[in-house]
Chains A and B, each alone.
Chain A
């Protein structure tokens, strides 16, 4: 049981380049989330999805797009990367019950030069 898998684990981009981060979960979870973690800022929610085909904005959605075409996958896209998007990105999932813990991926370290 792999849980939540993020690819890639590391990536370096130049300003203006685009990329997609992939998150896959094998727990049949309805809810999936993308967070970014920055020093002194904690984890901030970028976008989330409450089911296949649905997405919603979180706290810091600007500069990112997401898609949930399949229940097990949640993609995070950067159309034109900026240095301010240098961060560690975490995907998480669960069944959407407030008392349930989040299952996290291992994170993606993204550097935008």
Chain B
């Protein structure tokens, strides 16, 4: 069975600095997708970035980028120039349709605090 592990329950970063959130996963499938979701205090789940496993190039969305290491099964999120609005819970997620019916699997989350 696939698993997603976020080993950092909580992280802190100074405003304008860079922070990296870690995520590792375990799968025997070769075709899958990885996501980072942000959950601010409003509780709304917001997609931050997604990565296709077949793409070697790391995904980037403005200040957010990933370091995707397929062989190591690692998918970390880098937030550059951190802003107060980045404070939230961040979830790493895995999805694959190899079995015919796909399901998302989420990690346990990392709470990011941004210090002014």
Minimal beta-carbon separation of A80 from chain B (angstroms): 27
Q: How large is the interface on B (under 10, 10 to 19, 20 to 34, 35 or more residues)?
A: 20 to 34
**Chain B residues positioned under 8 Å from A98 (CB to CB):** 31-33, 95-97, 102
A45 near B104: Cβ-Cβ < 8 Å = yes
Contact A50 B104 (CB under 8 A): no
Binding site for A on B (CB under 8 A): 4, 6, 9, 31-33, 35, 42-45, 47, 50, 52, 91, 95-97, 101-109
- The contact size tier of chain A is 20 to 34
| A contact residues around B52 at 8 Å (CB) | 99
A residues lining the B interface (CB < 8 Å): 33, 35, 40-45, 48, 50, 56, 58, 88, 90, 92, 96-99, 101-102, 104, 106-107
Residue of B43, B44, B50, B108 with most partner-chain A CB within 10 A: B43
